[in-house]
Amino acid sequence: MKLAASYFGNRIPRHVARDMAELRARGFDRVVHTFSESDAAYYHKTMREIVRISQDCGLEVLLDPWGVGRVFGGEAYSQWLLEEPDLFQRGPSGRLLGGSCLNHPALLPRLHAWIDAAAGTGASWIFWDEPHWTFPGPLNPGSEICVCDHCRRRMSELTPGTDLARAGREEIARLRARGVRDLLEELTRYAAAQGLRSSLCLLPHGLMDQPPLDWDEIAAWEHVHEFGTDPYWQAFGVATPEERRAFLKVHAGEAMRTCRQAGIPAMLWVQAFKIPAAREEDLVAGARELLRYAPETVALWGFEACAHMSAIACERPESVWNALIRVFREEAPDGAR
């Protein structure tokens, strides 16, 4: 079993070099470097150096479109939405919903350019991180959905004669699922043409008001080389050990079944952010349970349990980081290492 961690918040190569050496020494095999719009615009050569440093340490590098277009997961802002406000999702109230519309035709050329930039760093993988429609929350307090002209047109293509304003729940869910699906299909195809492999991380089913995606269909695409999910039971409000086991069984279990069927490796994520001290025991117990699903890669979000990023740091990051490495490296049965 390979071990991965995400890494972000530092673009000073000599400090990155020390951290990558530390990751390798602790038994990590892969690193997910975030590659935000800001990184692509202002740190491109620096990122090339960071990728090389990581590879020289023996780490396989995946790049994450962190917050890009506000369509992928991550604590990064989007310049694209400022440059081209028409990209915004628009709710029925007229409110701009805080992320690009997945059906907007101007989004794709920008994402192609992002992939070109990613290919130029020398990384071998793209890690497509939680592609989503804007979540309910501060940017979308009314849990609105996009009803822009592009979404309306797409609805009438998918379900002729149906007006999005009067569509039923199932038709809307189908439209939104197609938006994510079609975007990912094109992005993985384009990435492959640039020599990049694609690892997909889809949100666990039924969370964050997202439409249902057909994992089996997506994982079987020619240009999807790894598939997984991030069953962060604490972040998603799972409180008891029984619920945790059930949550992992549904989401980790389903991802593993999907990967086995598609014949591709699985990557499952473990929450190493925002863990309160009182819940470290629960985290470790769940990490041991996750190990039993035997994914090809277990990945920790993120480096040193996010000690350096106050908004998402664990309460006792050093304790969390060491405990997870103990579970996945020191305690793991030989066959899993």
28 phi and psi angles, rounded to 5 deg: -80, 145
Q: What's the N-to-C CA distance of the chain in angstroms?
A: 5
State the Cα angle at 110 between 106 and 113, rounded to 5°: 145
For Zn ion, give the closer residue by CB, 96 or 250.
96
Question: Site residues for Zn ion, window 166-225 (CB under 5 A)?
Answer: none
- Please compute, for residue 141, the number of CA atoms within 13 A of its CA located in the half-sphere on the CB side: 4
**Does the footprint of Zn ion cover residue 47 (CB under 5 A)?**
no
Among 148, 183, 259, 300, binds Zn ion (CB under 5 A): 148
Question: Site residues for Zn ion, window 64-123 (CB under 5 A)?
Answer: 101, 103
Q: Single out the segment in contact with Zn ion by CB under 5 A; choices: 57-65, 140-148, 159-167, 191-199.
A: 140-148
- By three-state DSSP, how is residue 221 classified? coil
For Zn ion, give the closer residue by CB, 175 or 323.
175
99 phi and psi angles, rounded to 5 deg: -150, 165
Minimum CB distance to Zn ion, residue 101 (Å): 3
Q: Under rule CB under 5 A, how many of the chain's residues touch Zn ion?
A: 6
Burial class (CB in 10 A: 0-12, 13-18, 19+), 41: exposed
Minimum CB distance to Zn ion, residue 148 (Å): 3
Cα–Cα distance, 299 to 225 (Å, whole number): 16
Minimum CB distance to Zn ion, residue 176 (Å): 9
Cα–Cα distance, 77 to 225 (Å, whole number): 28
Q: Which residue has the tokens 């699922």?
A: 177
Minimum CB distance to Zn ion, residue 103 (Å): 5
| Cβ neighbour number for residue 188 with a 10 Å cutoff | 24
For Zn ion, give the closer residue by CB, 5 or 146.
146
Beta bridge partners of 229: 202, 268
For Zn ion, give the closer residue by CB, 209 or 296.
209
Cα–Cα distance, 209 to 97 (Å, whole number): 14
**Does the footprint of Zn ion cover residue 151 (CB under 5 A)?**
yes
Sorted by sequence, the CB contacts under 8 Å of residue 174 that are 6+ apart come out as 158, 159, 211
Q: Single out the segment in contact with Zn ion by CB under 5 A; choices: 144-152, 180-188, 198-206, 258-266.
A: 144-152
Minimum CB distance to Zn ion, residue 150 (Å): 5
Minimum CB distance to Zn ion, residue 44 (Å): 30
For Zn ion, give the closer residue by CB, 70 or 150.
150
Going from the C-alpha of 252 to that of each of 33, 179, 257, 267, the distances in angstroms are 23, 24, 9, 10
Minimum CB distance to Zn ion, residue 212 (Å): 19
Q: Single out the segment in contact with Zn ion by CB under 5 A; choices: 43-51, 138-146, 229-237, 253-261.
A: 138-146
For Zn ion, give the closer residue by CB, 105 or 237.
105
Minimum CB distance to Zn ion, residue 149 (Å): 8
Sorted by sequence, the CB contacts under 8 Å of residue 76 that are 6+ apart come out as 34, 36, 37, 38, 66, 67, 68
Q: Which amino acid is at 246?
A: A
For Zn ion, give the closer residue by CB, 151 or 266.
151
Among 61, 146, 270, 305, binds Zn ion (CB under 5 A): 146
For Zn ion, give the closer residue by CB, 78 or 103.
103
Q: Which residues bind Zn ion (CB under 5 A)?
A: 101, 103, 146, 148, 150-151
